[in-house]
Amino acid sequence: MSLVNTKECIYVALDFEGLRSLERTPQEDMFLTLFNTVVSNLILYKNQYTINRDASKMFQKFQDGVKLFESDPNIFL
């Protein structure tokens, strides 16, 4: 994690050490992806200039996470 504090805002950079790690379960990966999405205004992915099966699965996890939250209208109340 890196942090830069400016007069206008605080920038925080989080490194998730890659998704689909052998050290995490698929559920933990999904929650990390959701957490990243909720707290971020900008998300950068290093993918070696390719869109492969892993990248497609990662974006599918975003969609799966949305399905968990879209059915609860009070999630952020």
| Segment 10-58, tens digit of pLDDT | 888 887 776 666 778 878 877 887 787 778 777 776 666 666 676 777 7
Predicted model pTM: 0.50
Contact assessment for residue 61 and residue 33, using Cβ atoms and an 8 Å cutoff: yes
Residue 16: CB atoms within 10 A of its CB come to: 13
In this model, does residue 7 exceed pLDDT 90?
yes
As a whole number of angstroms, the distance between CA 29 and CA 44 comes to 16
DSSP 22: T
Q: Coil, strand or helix: which one is 19? A: coil
DSSP, residue by residue, 29-73: HHHHHHHHHHH-S------TT---HHHHHHHHHHHHHHHHHHT-T
pLDDT at 36: 78
pLDDT at 5: 92
pLDDT at 77 over 90: no
